[in-house]
Structure 1
């Protein structure tokens, strides 16, 4: 299921400057239905007012607006699913928004939740994708109903595959997504019996996974 756009060329690749690799801690803040509705309408200013922060331009791209429509439909069908939905990822005391993250919905009958996260173009290759993934895994582990965390990634998305490396994900199959085509399915236990190794900063951070 599509959660953001595919990876784009970043600073080092197109010669605009050196790649930064320092990992950063992120915190998640709920993105309200009202803010998502404003984003769906392409009104970034109103969405930022409702969210109380300045939101990046990538929140009103075509693929992002597809996500807001999908999530709004989910919440309309079952308001209780809202707490599993999209959060914007914030760093620093000034509330700098570097992307968004969340689960595709509550755990299914087997206790599986699928993750999705997206890093804004100006903040890629700085460790935010791994920080977002770390926080999503922490939240999943704190939910008694969750037993498995899933990530689905297009096989050609080398950066996304590199990002999940070291977190214990195991390939379990493939699926066809109507938005992204063929995807490889990876699972990891929500509460592994062996402590996960904290992975080093990723050299090639992707825009999105999901």
Structure 2
């Protein structure tokens, strides 16, 4: 095997170190076959060995960019087969915000609704802080959390607030405090998601 191709495959394997060994080896073998095939095609066109190798590696993706693409494909495939715990806890967290929005509409600070919603959100936050090995697709999900919050729970809470105000003219002070606290909780969670995604992304891409 050419030394340059061998070096390329070594770097690719290093960048793919977060994948299972068997999956990583299969990818490296597949890329090796592809590179050698391209080199042989160029040699048939009249290029010598070194020229063919240099041309193929120059036109091919870098080990890092290729590894990111491969890991994203792997994550997407694995998530469809078996969602990670972080995915489940993320859904729990969004369900928790939905649960906490119900008292806004009902204008009743039902302890059961509030407690259950807070438990779900707490599970999501804990899973976010305890996770130290991120996958690309999880980072992408974490990155869009603030947008999800702004496009779903926040508008719904405003709608519930408007409906509740329309139904009754008098406003209970504790209920107003609850609405404000809910919006602050959305803001805090959105900021936490953004900060955590930035940290996870920085850690991941520094491998």
Q: Same fold (TM over 0.5)?
A: no
Where is the helix percentage greater, Structure 1 or Structure 2? Answer: 2
Give the TM-score, by structure 1 length.
Answer: 0.26
Give the TM-score, by structure 2 length.
Answer: 0.26
Q: Flag the structure with larger Rg.
A: 2
